[in-house]
Amino acid sequence: MKIKLLIIVFFTIFVNSLYSNVAITNGLTHIYSGSSGDVISGEVILVNGSTEEQYITFELNDAIFSCTTNRIFTKEYTHPQSSINWFESNITDKVLAPKERYVYRFTIKIPKDKTLRGSYWSALMVHLENPIREDSINGNIGLDSKITYAVGLLTHVNTFDELNINFKDITISENENSNKKQLEVKLINKSLFIEGVRLSLEIYDKNGTKIYEAVTDRNMTFPGFCRDYKIDISELISGEYDCVLIADSREEFVGTNISLTIK
């Protein structure tokens, strides 16, 4: 069984961690690979950097994605790729002593069903229950504010299939106040697995000379859902251009040719 841990900030913090007395030191997204029937051990490492006790609670949520709305975390409903029932831990809360380093351990038990194939996921919600003192100068955090970390638990089960991603929509946006222009690309993942996708854009003038090249960050795109990318093209002057747009994941590539008109 192969276990891989990547530190990718995808499941983000609800409140800026600058104000948190407790930090998660081994990443907010944990990615594992296994086969039907495997039992995977995982851990979340927390450090209380304060000089006071901190009360922490843990709960599991589903992470719901969409091509049209923002991601949400919920216990109210689920989705077909949920791994929420695979998760096991005996700890639901913990008091961290001042300066304590604590390792929260859990297991993910992949069902023995040999037909399982694809990426499955859930989110471990880590709640810092103690109220935060208000910053008397800036007033950024109120007395009743709390912090929640969402730690993504992503599990690839059995053999990967071929890359199956596609460009769903490509548009140009322009901010009239700043004159900033962006190529906005909506990518859809039609495979069974989460893909870490990066886009590269090459732009050529009417003489076939490459005049611009840009590469995005690599972001996770979930099965059946979309991912939005924005590429700054502000430096292009008015004119007609030919472009090559390429998406890559797992060293496989999908590309398209587009014509670009800048006014």
Asked if 133 and 186 sit in the same domain, the reply is: no
**pLDDT one-digit tens code per residue, 212-238:** 999 999 999 999 999 999 999 999 989
**pLDDT one-digit tens code per residue, 36-90:** 999 999 999 999 999 989 999 999 999 998 888 888 999 998 999 999 999 999 9
Q: What is the DSSP string of 186-213?
A: EEEE-SSS-EEEEEEEEEE-TTS-EEEE
Average pLDDT, the chain: 87
Report if residue 10 sits inside a domain: no
Interior angle at CA 81, CA 77 and CA 83, nearest 5:
80
Residue 16 has pLDDT above 90, yes or no: no
CA-CA distances (angstroms) from residue 72 to 32, 65, 122? 22, 7, 11
Asked if 115 and 132 sit in the same domain, the reply is: yes
Predicted pLDDT of residue 240: 93
Task: Indicate the residue among 157, 188, 213 that finishes a domain.
Answer: 157
Residues 6+ apart with CB under 8 A from 74: 61, 62, 64
Task: Indicate the residue among 157, 175, 202 that finishes a domain.
Answer: 157
Predicted pLDDT of residue 185: 96
Global confidence as pTM:
0.82
Asked if 147 and 214 sit in the same domain, the reply is: no
Specify the number of domains making up the chain: 2
Report if residue 239 sits inside a domain: yes
**pLDDT one-digit tens code per residue, 74-130:** 999 899 999 999 999 999 999 999 999 999 999 999 999 999 999 999 999 999 986
Asked if 142 and 179 sit in the same domain, the reply is: no
Token pair recorded at residue 2:
């192969």
Which single residue is written with the structure tokens 């351990």? 105
Asked if 41 and 144 sit in the same domain, the reply is: yes
Residue 169 has pLDDT above 70, yes or no: yes
Report if residue 147 sits inside a domain: yes
Q: Whole-angstrom Cα distance, residue 60 to residue 125?
A: 6
Q: Facing residues of 59 across strands?
A: 125
CATH of residue 147: 2.60.40.10
- Domain range for 219 is 165-256
117 contacts 161 by C-beta, under 8 angstroms: yes
Q: Whole-angstrom Cα distance, residue 13 to residue 21?
A: 14
Predicted pLDDT of residue 71: 86
Asked if 223 and 108 sit in the same domain, the reply is: no
Task: Indicate the residue among 157, 192, 215 that finishes a domain.
Answer: 157
More confident residue, 187 or 147: 187
Helix/strand/coil percentages in the chain, nearest 5: 0, 55, 45
Token pair recorded at residue 184:
């906005």
